[in-house]
């Protein structure tokens, strides 16, 4: 089974914790790409370690048991004769050798993006030493992503994350989809599980249904990231990705809320610069009207700033 997850740190340990506490007779094998090791956790006795390169030797290793669960973090191993769960970012899965990926179930599951309340619960359980005011600031910047909010918390880490985001061209974000092999775009856009914005009462809305974990929409991580996206789109004249701002869930300056906002501003005497529409097609249903695009982007940025949304660079330690 392949599980696409931008918060793999949370996902893998959650699964390990549930298995070890609810199925204590089961062996868990944790393959970790970041340090190149495989940890074999038996029901009793010491934890054994082998090199990640030797993962396929598990086929011949005695005493593991038929119910052994392999959890592979950010690496997709060749199919093993055990239940196997791969947790990796969409970027990592997309770069996997197709022949290996085809050995797994064809349907990829999406790990739901944690809620703000769940991140706070995780903070209390795993990182109580982190100051609440700092956690709140990182939540406001990165959204509810545990790695960015609770793990990579030092000033150098935070500034490095933002430097990558600041350099990323908007061409990596097209029509709500991420086209970025570096993974940096997932600090701007969060890819939801289908059930997180499904209609109430639909099969996708039930977390006990596999449809809940299908591919959902992409949303901008936070109002501050929305401000960055809007200003960058205007600066780069990247009107082909302007529709991305409609994907955010929590900002009333986008999607169906945007037209009434513009009309209300016009009614109150707001002036918008208009230019002649360019006579060529747009991309993904978004036109290439540079004048109206610039005006809309400027208005949205002004509304965000007026409501107190900060520039990401101003929120760094």
Chain segment 86-145, per-residue pLDDT in tens: 887 766 777 777 777 777 776 678 888 888 998 999 899 889 999 999 999 999 999 998
Asked if pLDDT for residue 276 goes beyond 60, the answer is no
Q: What is the pLDDT of residue 254?
A: 42
| Among 212, 224, 219, 206, residue whose Cα is nearest residue 161 | 224
Over 90: is that where the pLDDT of 39 sits?
yes
Residue 306: DSSP 8-state? H
- Contact indicator for 84, 1 with CB cutoff of 8 Å: yes
pLDDT class for 247, splitting at 50, 70, 90? very low
194, 110 in Cβ contact below 8 A? yes
- Taking the C-alpha atoms of 240, 261, 309 and 221 in order, what is their torsion angle to the nearest 10 degrees? -40
Give me the pLDDT at residue 220, please. 82
Contact of 138 with 153, CB cutoff 8 Å: yes
The predicted model gives 264-291 an average pLDDT of 46
Collapsing DSSP to helix, strand or coil, 185 comes out as helix
Residue 232 banded pLDDT, cuts 50, 70, 90: confident
Which among 218, 235, 172 has a CA at the least distance from the CA of 6?
218
Q: Which of 91-95, 194-198, 208-212, 258-262 has the lowest mean pLDDT?
A: 258-262
Asked if residue 61 has pLDDT above 60, the reply is: yes
Would residue 250 be called left, alpha or beta, if left means φ above 0 and alpha means ψ between -120 and 50 degrees? alpha
* pLDDT score, position 27: 93
What pLDDT sits at residue 45? Answer: 87
What would the two tokens of residue 253 be?
Answer: 């300056």
The pTM for the full model equals 0.69
Q: What are the residue ranges spanned by the domains of the chain?
A: 2-110, 154-315
43 neighbors 26 (Cβ within 8 angstroms):
yes
Angle formed by the axes of helices 290-306 and 258-267, nearest 10°? 90
pLDDT value of residue 253: 40
């Amino acid at each position: 089974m392949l599980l696409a997850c931008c918060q793999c740190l949370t996902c893998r340990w959650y699964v390990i914790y549930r298995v070890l506490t609810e199925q204590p007779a089961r062996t868990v094998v944790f393959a970790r790409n970041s340090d190149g090791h495989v940890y074999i956790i038996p029901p009793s006795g010491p934890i054994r370690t082998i090199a990640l390169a030797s993962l396929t030797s598990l086929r011949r290793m005695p005493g593991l048991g038929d119910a052994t669960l392999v959890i592979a973090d950010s690496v997709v191993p060749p199919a093993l004769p055990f239940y196997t769960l791969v947790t990796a970012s969409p970027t990592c899965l997309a770069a996997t050798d197709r022949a290996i990926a085809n050995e797994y179930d064809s349907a990829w599951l999406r790990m739901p993006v944690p809620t703000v309340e769940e991140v706070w619960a995780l903070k209390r359980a795993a990182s109580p030493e982190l100051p609440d005011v700092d956690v709140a600031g990182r939540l406001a910047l990165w959204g509810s992503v545990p790695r960015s909010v609770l793990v990579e918390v030092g000033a150098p880490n935070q500034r490095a994350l933002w430097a990558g985001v600041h350099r990323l061209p908007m061409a990596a974000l097209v029509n709500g989809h991420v086209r970025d092999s570096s993974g940096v775009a997932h600090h701007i856009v969060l890819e939801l599980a289908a059930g997180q914005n499904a209609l109430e009462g639909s099969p996708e809305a039930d977390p006990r249904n596999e449809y809940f974990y299908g591919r959902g929409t992409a949303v901008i991580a936070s109002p501050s990231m929305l401000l960055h996206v809007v200003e960058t789109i205007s600066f780069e004249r990247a009107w082909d990705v302007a529709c991305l701002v409609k994907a955010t869930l929590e900002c009333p300056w986008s999607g169906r809320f945007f037209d009434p906002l513009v009309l209300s501003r016009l009614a109150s005497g707001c002036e918008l610069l208009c230019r002649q529409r360019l006579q060529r097609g747009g991309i993904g249903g978004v036109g290439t009207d540079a004048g109206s695009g610039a005006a809309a982007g400027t208005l949205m940025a002004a509304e965000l700033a007026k409501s107190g949304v900060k520039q990401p660079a101003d929120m760094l330690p």
